Structure 1
Amino acid sequence: MTNANNRLEPPERLVRTLSCEPPDGPARRWLAALPETAQECLRRWELTLERVQEPGGRTSMVLLVRLPDGTPAALKLCPPDGTAALEHAALTRWDGRYAVRPLRVDPEAGALLLERLHGDISLRSLAEPKAQLEAAAVLQRLWVPAGDGHPFRSVAEHTAALAATLREHREQPWAADARTVVDEALELRDALAADATEEPALLHGEFHQGNVLAGDRAPWLAVGPRPLTGERAYDLAWLVRDRVDTLLAAPGAGAAARRRVSKLSDSLDVPVERVRGWALFRAVSSGVTELAAGRRGRGELLLEFAGLL
């Protein structure tokens, strides 16, 4: 076990993501305390540090560690905002079936101890058509009932909050060029939430090719859920826009985007218009959030993609 905090510095990707947050806000305070938080978890759970995983995620830090008996594992540190507890609840519900297996959780510290996967090998290492097939196969098996007394928010509740933020951003001067697609996204969201009739399932919430990693006990396992309950079409939205920069750079991007919607909807028996609607809403919501944070390039890319749908 190490006592060297300089080996526990957050990855640059995480630091860049949080650099737009207020200096005295909770996100930056959490970031500053990460080395000490990590050191305490290593000590308390008797873990041996190998290294910080790079480049890592944009909202958490992952340490590659070993258990007291030498078994490899991964320690994930999230903001102490309930994220770790919800992720643990979803992973426990899946119980290792097509998802990473949870070993331990400390919700107050935002700490999750997980089985070790091959963090440098995701579905994005495959050719895009093969990756989409594998992703759909994994996602289909994650759609199980959430169970009695579950702690997860519904898609309707979650997207109501996103829509409220989107309406606020819409009025800002920097959002003037995006108002047409923002209005379409808001109308679609309201209609989709109002007429959802499908039996709610446990959803991954942020399912894309980068969140499906190679494992030893199974070829591909999902990681990083932001679980919700609701209709399956919502869970396909990020898959529709996967590798969006490559898609937009190729000829016939609009037709390719619409083919993705059709193929995913056909392969998983999900209504095509609901997949399109949620994909458009989520792309616009994410794109405007990026613009609000000053990340104009990424924001404009997502809004351009939304316009193709």
Structure 2
Amino acid sequence: MMLPEKFIYTIKSVHKEHGERWLRKFPDLIKECEEQWSIKVLSPYELSYNFVAPVLHKDGRRMVLKLVVPGNDALHNEVEALTLFDGDGIAKMIDYDLNKGLMLLECIEPGVKLSSIKDNKQATMIITKVMKKLWKPAPRNTKLPTIFQRIDEFSNIRKTYPNGIGPITKEMLMEAEILYAHLGSTINQLSLLHGDLHHYNVLPSGKESWVAIDPKGLIGEKEYDVTQYMLNELPEQNVEETITERLELFAKQLHLSKERMIKWCFCHTILSCYWDIEDFGKASMKSVIVMNIFRKMKNM
């Protein structure tokens, strides 16, 4: 199986030497999966950070295989999140192997994504329905990360880059660190969140029904879980108008605070820009534009 060059580049950029070793062992890993679960791995979907492909079980059922570079908490968090969501608004988990970084999941047909819906209002209305099904009160006992842990990340970035980094100025870092801490200290209710909910992680399932896939698993405020959606599938022009429409729909349909969504989004877009710089050497122009839009919105 030939892996796309862009996927190979991403794995090496994000996981460094550990990713290179994983890529060298990849053919053997596929063979192990086929033998362990009596499946045949088919051509993969469009790949980003993980290998995801449809598979055919020996009994004729179609499933999805997901391979993650092991060695961090990402797979553990996803497995726990899928267990807690229990198929409510999300694709079900069938089996997994934490040591090898393997997951076998329910196959959602026909496999197109929310990104195929080009009308902004229609797509946003669809994802609000998914959010209503998905979000649950935070469990009492969980090892999932919380948004409070990300407060330290702002502090670490500012200490490492006291004059800012790339398009992120030192003033922005200070604003975000203070604002994030304030938002965290004023949360009324904690919820179990998806943590990476956007156009490419929502698929149609049956007539007029959509479900989420690939949760990161996060404990936090509902207003925070709209942040990734705000960064995706934005037009070349009228970006602020598109964002504003999304904010208003979320506020109306989900009874969320528009003010808190804007503030969380400003903080998160700074983190997103920094993660891009850390992994790929630069932030995307669209992320920079969105970051400055939310900075302006929060100060209005």
Place the TM-score, normalised by the shorter chain, in its bin: 0.7 to 0.9
1:10 to 3, 6, 9: 3
CA deviation string 1:177-197 (max 9, x = no partner): 633333322222111112222
CA deviation string 1:133-173 (max 9, x = no partner): 0001101211113434322122112x134324432553367
The 8 Å contact of residues 105 and 111 in structure 1, kept in 2 or not, is answered as yes
What residue is the counterpart of 1:77 in the other structure? 67
Aligned-residue offset at 1:31: 3.1
Q: Does 2:141 match 1:149?
A: yes
What residue is the counterpart of 1:3 in the other structure? none
What residue is the counterpart of 2:105 in the other structure? 114
Aligned-residue offset at 1:83: 2.2
What residue is the counterpart of 1:4 in the other structure? none
What residue is the counterpart of 2:81 in the other structure? 90
What residue is the counterpart of 1:286 in the other structure? 272
Q: Does 2:195 match 1:205?
A: yes
What residue is the counterpart of 2:298 in the other structure? none
Q: Does 2:124 match 1:132?
A: yes
TM-score normalised per structure 1: 0.85
Q: Does 2:293 match 1:308?
A: yes
Code of the aligned partner of 2:270: V
Code of the aligned partner of 2:261: V
Question: Relative to 1, partners in 2 of residues 1:175 and 1:295: Cα closer, same or farther, differing over 3 Å?
Answer: closer
Aligned-residue offset at 1:70: 1.2
1:257 to 223, 228, 243: 243
After superposition, the CA RMSD in angstroms is 2.3
Q: Does 2:166 match 1:175?
A: yes
Determine helix, strand or coil for the equivalent of 2:90: coil
CA distance in 1, matches of 2:176, 2:113: 30
Aligned-residue offset at 1:255: 4.1
The size of the alignment, in residue pairs, is 292
Question: Relative to 1, partners in 2 of residues 1:22 and 1:205: Cα closer, same or farther, differing over 3 Å?
Answer: closer
Aligned-residue offset at 1:117: 1.6
Determine helix, strand or coil for the equivalent of 2:53: strand
Gap runs ≥5 in structure 1 = 1-6
Determine helix, strand or coil for the equivalent of 1:304: helix
Aligned-residue offset at 1:287: 0.9
CA distance in 1, matches of 2:20, 2:198: 27
CA distance in 2, matches of 1:153, 1:137: 25
1:233 to 218, 223, 229: 223
What residue is the counterpart of 2:35 in the other structure? 43
Determine helix, strand or coil for the equivalent of 2:95: strand
Segment of structure 1 superposing worse, 108-117 or 210-219:
210-219
Gap runs ≥5 in structure 2 = 295-300
